Chain A
């Protein structure tokens, strides 16, 4: 049973070898970036460093702080109210507050830009009472750094809401009940007890938000805000300098790692995803008078502006273009997106299965570290991964092409970068963590020691995996695959850079239509992405609702699935 050989030496089993090889492959983009930083800086880089680099950094940091703060306010307020108070619509808000998670930030951005546009509904409404100059200022104000922060916060606050709510729910039966019996006012209870206890969870939630902010490309590009990600695209494509793009990627990675470190430090030894669920149902404060309606607004506003308004606008456009559903081009986009999502999900789940299982077989320090490193991809912005993959792949392609032409007798194309291969690989790197976290939790929950028993009866590990674990884990595997699938469907920057010849997806097409001032025509692909994005969100909320007095793991586990980067990896 022990993976260690005599004297504690690690035996290099096929499993260990496979895992180490996979992890090395998945770390390739990071390695490219680090190697690139060590090189001699280019002239373009010097120019950027002396002119716009400060802007990129400043804008990125302001965006991180602004979105972080707004998401905290929206997420914690609504999470607290929904968990501990009773007011009109509470039960509906409990699940609908999660809905904005299904709308990719770039779709949110261009939809709002159009809503506030010169010929959009808001201007028309306001111009009844106000001068056009005043109302036009609204749009100018929206298409800016603060505007982008508001839009991103509306799309991303559910991460904070979900995780803080889970934490409040766990407290409510125990600590909060005691505080209440001791006569604490609700307000003091919130500040003095609930918030401090929930802190690690809240910070973890907001860290996820901030990683999404640093990954952001579409929304900031659309609003004309320059950040590291837009800088990467510019350095590479406008200035034609891949080396400068690598350096910008390096800067961006520094920010990401700084975030991770801060999150780890504040968390210390705290764990927030364990412990039993409340034994009794929560006794909620009955709100009355203005408080009642204040709570209604505090929960209603994020749902209204984070989901209802943008979706209503998209549906209005979509109805106007409904005939295009039958257009073969739209069908092709859908098929492209689905095919990419399915292949990437299959590969990501398989890779995750191998890695998680081999750690289970031999939980050595090396393997654990390798497993953790391989899930880093999720915190790395898509644009950075694309840069890190394209460069080595192009190098490889250049060498492969002549060999392949020789073999096939006809001129061969680029096998990796000319096809979806590079793209699928990039998806797996970026979203491996999504499937790994689901599987991790799944193994713990469902397999217990059954696989160990099987192996101790002399069944080989592969046979055990296929005959014991995989059947037991079927639900988990499907869920993990679904999450990867949805993430792939929504992904934008990476897809823009790596997609092959004559190949568009729902996301790239929607974004390009919006960029080309044909935002109404982007409604169909946008709505399809949102509809599919709703699947995991609905599953998640159902898990949360069904969790009352259940096994207590579902919310955190499910959340980990929806949003992995490090939440449950303690």
Chain B
């Protein structure tokens, strides 16, 4: 009996469990000593809201070119910002990548980013797509546009975002939840253009025109248009492009019934936003982070964004995917993207008051 005592507490019989235990100690140790000690290898730690396989391939390519390992945490930008705040000076993160300029601005406002002076970046990226003080840089552009059913809507019937609140669209508009950052930034751009009151009235008007309560993501809106749940949806361009190029023939077939319309072309232009990156305030590997941004706006990387993820490149002269070409050039809203961040909370509250779930 006596000899058995010390073993009992940790007496796990199966070999699988034992195998897992062999992992446990090194794993825990690495966790505990963890995040701060990078080891001998050069690394850059990335907090990213983007989660495309193409991104991972680009990171691998970067490592191949520079020998700098890229470690990525993916989560929503809100979670990442909360985490950066929490971690403060001890944060292991070097680079914050979001899918919206508003969040980058929020990070800047909260002192989570640092300015970068890179002649390379300032020369490649157009001025309106980066922070004037170098706190963040746009990597790709996305336009939030209208996707409509070819068989039920003539493009002449479409004009502006504002017009979607009109009575002729009753029961025909599809949109996703107001929690979504793309919608928040769109409303922020409308607040900037028309004032808070008009923008809130617009939101309420769209809510009363909705074919169903907001649900699903951008792809769902497009597919719902295709399936006839509603006639027009507010979505980002690349979701439509992705469906048109989907591996599943059923999805391609459905999406072929949908076309895109760039609104407000006679006015301020279609709402655009960027997916961008900023070096964190306490980045342990700030130099590597800058090199990664520079790589991501290189011709090689920009072409990957444009051709496989169907985003618009920020670097001029990079070839677009065929689908993007077919839609042609459009007039983007020249609004300084920083405003999207500044007006974000106003947009949240306006959506809540308008009853846009």
Question: Which residues from chain A sit less than 8 Å from chain B, CB to CB?
Answer: 47-48, 51-52, 55, 117-119, 123-124, 131-133, 135-137, 140, 143-144, 223-224, 226, 234, 236-240, 335-336, 338-339, 342-343, 346, 350, 390, 394, 397-398, 401, 410-415, 417-421, 466-467, 470-471, 474, 477-478, 496-497, 500-503, 512, 515-517
A373 smallest CB distance to B (angstroms): 26
Determine the residue in chain B with the shortest Cβ distance to A411: B36
CB atoms of A339 and B32 under 8 A apart: no
Chain A residue with the shortest CB-CB distance to B211: A140
Chain A residues whose CB sits within 8 angstroms of the CB of B82 once the complex forms = 236-237, 240
Q: A346-B10, A414-B86, A502-B71 are in contact. List 4 more A-B contacts (CB 8 A).
A: A52-B352, A118-B227, A224-B357, A237-B82
Known A224-B357, A234-B179, A467-B1; judge A140-B215 contact (CB<8 A): yes
B residues 1-59 touching A (CB-CB < 8 Å): 1-2, 4-5, 8-12, 17, 20-21, 23-24, 27-28, 31-32, 34-37, 45, 51
A413, B23: Cβ atoms closer than 8 Å: no
Q: Which residues of A contact B74 (CB under 8 A)?
A: 512
Once the chains are docked, how many angstroms separate the CA of A133 from the CA of B172? 13
Query: Would you call B217 an interface residue if the criterion is a C-beta within 8 Å of the partner chain's C-beta atoms?
Result: yes
Chain B nearest CB from A410 CB (Å) reads 7
Task: Return chain B residues, CB-CB under 8 Å to A502.
Answer: 35, 45, 71-73
Identify which of B154-162, B248-256, B292-300 touches chain A. B248-256
Q: How many angstroms from the CA of A340 to the CA of B336 in the assembled complex? A: 45
Determine whether the beta carbon of B51 is less than 8 Å from that of A338: no
Nearest CB in chain A to that of B282: its residue: A411
Q: When the two chains form their complex, are residues B23 and A335 in contact, meaning their CB atoms are under 8 A apart?
A: yes
A143 CB to closest chain B CB (Å) equals 5
Nearest to A350 among chain B residues (CB) is: B9
Q: Are A118 and B27 in contact (CB under 8 A)?
A: no
- A224-B177, A502-B72 in contact; A118/B31 too (CB < 8 A)? no
The stretch among B87-95, B138-146, B201-209 that forms the contact with chain A is B87-95
Q: Which of A234, A339, A401 contacts B90 (CB 8 A)?
A: A401
Are B27 and A335 neighbours in the complex by a CB distance under 8 Å?
yes
Q: Is the CB of A224 within 8 A of B212?
A: no
The smallest beta-carbon distance between A335 and chain B, in angstroms, is 5
Q: Which residues of B contact A516 (CB under 8 A)?
A: 51
B219 at the interface (CB under 8 A from A): yes
- Name the one of B76, B90, B345 contacting A414, with C-beta atoms under 8 angstroms: B90
> A224-B215, A467-B1 are known contacts. Are A512 and B23 too (CB-CB below 8 A)?
no
B345 touching A133 by the CB < 8 A rule? no
Contact of B28 with A239 in the complex, beta carbons under 8 Å? no
Given the complex of chains A and B, what is the CA–CA distance between A394 and B83 in angstroms? 10
B342 to chain A, nearest CB (A): 14
Asked if residues B215 and A144 are in contact (CB atoms below 8 Å), the reply is: yes
Q: Do the beta carbons of A224 and B214 come within 8 Å of each other? A: yes
Question: Is residue B229 within 8 Å, beta carbon to beta carbon, of the partner chain?
Answer: yes
The A-contacting residues of B in range 210-227, CB under 8 angstroms, are 212-217, 219-220, 223-224, 226-227
Distance in Å: Cβ of B330 to nearest Cβ of chain A: 25
Which residues of A have CB within 8 Å of B213?
Answer: 144, 224
Q: Do B226 and A118 touch across chains, with their CB atoms under 8 A apart? A: yes
Docked-complex contact A136 and B228, CB < 8 angstroms: yes
Q: How large is the interface on B (under 10, 10 to 19, 20 to 34, 35 or more residues)?
A: 35 or more
> Which residues of A lie under 8 Å from residue B76 when comparing CB positions?
237
- Write out the residue numbers on chain B whose beta carbons fall within 8 Å of the beta carbon of A223: 215
Determine whether the beta carbon of A419 is less than 8 Å from that of B35. Answer: yes
Residues of chain B within 8 A of A136, CB atoms compared: 224, 227-229
Measured between beta carbons, the chain A residues less than 8 angstroms from B24 are 339, 342-343
Contact (A119, B73) CB under 8 Å given A338-B20, A339-B28, A500-B35: no
23 contacts between A and B (CB under 8 A): A51-B349, A51-B352, A52-B352, A118-B224, A118-B250, A118-B251, A123-B227, A132-B227, A133-B228, A140-B224, A224-B215, A335-B27, A342-B17, A342-B21, A401-B89, A413-B87, A413-B90, A414-B35, A415-B32, A418-B90, A419-B35, A471-B8, A501-B73
- Closest CB-CB distance, A102 to chain B, in whole Å? 18
User: Which of chain B's residues has its CB closest to A134's CB?
Assistant: B228
Are B8 and A414 in contact (CB-based, < 8 A)? no
In the bound complex, residues from chain B placing their C-beta under 8 Å from that of A467 are: 1-2, 5
Q: Which of A234, A239, A414 has the most CB of B within 10 A?
A: A414
The answer to whether B240 has its CB under 8 Å from any CB of chain A is no
Q: Is A238 a contact partner of B78 (Cβ separation < 8 A)? A: yes
Interface pair B35/A471, CB less than 8 Å apart: no
Task: Tell me, in angstroms, the Cα distance from A136 to B36 when the chains sit together.
Answer: 50
Q: A418: nearest residue on chain B (CB-CB)?
A: B35
Min CB–CB distance B188 → chain A (angstroms): 14
Residues from chain B with a CB closer than 8 A to the CB of A48 are 352
Cβ of B60 under 8 Å from chain A: no
Asked whether any CB of chain A lies closer than 8 Å to the CB of B270, the reply is: no
Q: Within the complex, which residue of A226, A237, A413, A420 is in contact with B79, where a contact is CB–CB below 8 Å?
A: A237
A343 to B31 alpha-carbon distance, docked (Å): 13
Q: Is there contact, CB below 8 Å, between A339 and B27?
A: yes
B224 touches A466 (CB 8 A): no
How far, in whole Å, are A412 and B33 apart by their CA atoms in the complex? Answer: 8
- Distance A346 CA – B45 CA, assembled complex (angstroms): 32
CB distance from B346 to the nearest CB of A (A): 11
Assess whether A471 is in contact with B73, with CB atoms less than 8 Å apart. no
Question: What residues of B have a CB within 8 angstroms of the CB of A512 in the complex?
Answer: 51, 74
Q: Chain B 87-118 against A: per-residue CB contact (8 Å), 1 yes, 0 no?
A: 11110110000000000001000000000000
Given known contacts A47-B349, A238-B179, A418 and B34 CB-to-CB distance under 8 angstroms: yes
A270 to B73, CA, bound (A): 51
Q: Which of A224, A234, A470 contacts B9 (CB 8 A)?
A: A470
Across the interface, do A132 and B228 meet the contact criterion of CB distance under 8 Å?
yes
- Would you give the shortest CB distance from A504 to chain B, in whole angstroms? 8
Shortest C-beta distance, B323 to chain A (Å), equals: 18
Closest to B222 in A: A118
Nearest CB in chain B: distance from A482 CB, A = 10
Q: Residue among B21, B71, B224, B227 with the most chain A CB within 10 A?
A: B227
Chain A residues in 8 Å Cβ range of B121: none
- The answer on a CB contact under 8 Å between A137 and B215 is no
- Asked, given contacts A226-B357, A339-B20, whether A140 binds B229 with beta carbons under 8 Å apart, the answer is yes
Q: Is the CB of A239 within 8 A of B348?
A: yes
CA distance A140 to B216 in the complex (A): 9
Whether B353 sits at the interface, judged by CB under 8 Å, is yes
Within the assembled complex, what's the spacing in Å between the Cα atoms of A471 and B179? 54
Cβ of B179: which chain A residues have Cβ within 8 Å of it? 234, 238
Cα–Cα distance between A119 and B222 once the two chains are bound (Å): 12
Least distance between B197 CB and chain A CB atoms (Å): 16
Chain B residues near A131: list those with CB within 8 A. 228
Contact B20 A501 (CB under 8 A): no
Complex formed: what's the CA distance from A135 to B227 in Å? Answer: 8
Q: Which residue of B lies closest to A346 (CB)?
A: B10
Q: Which A residue sits closest to B2, measured CB to CB?
A: A467
Interface residues of B in 306-357 (CB under 8 A from A): 345, 348-349, 352-353, 357
Q: A420: which of B31, B106, B345 is its contact (CB, 8 Å)?
A: B31
Is A143 in contact with B227, judged by CB distance below 8 angstroms?
no
Chain A, Cβ-Cβ closest to B177: A224
Docked CA distance A128–B248 (Å): 19
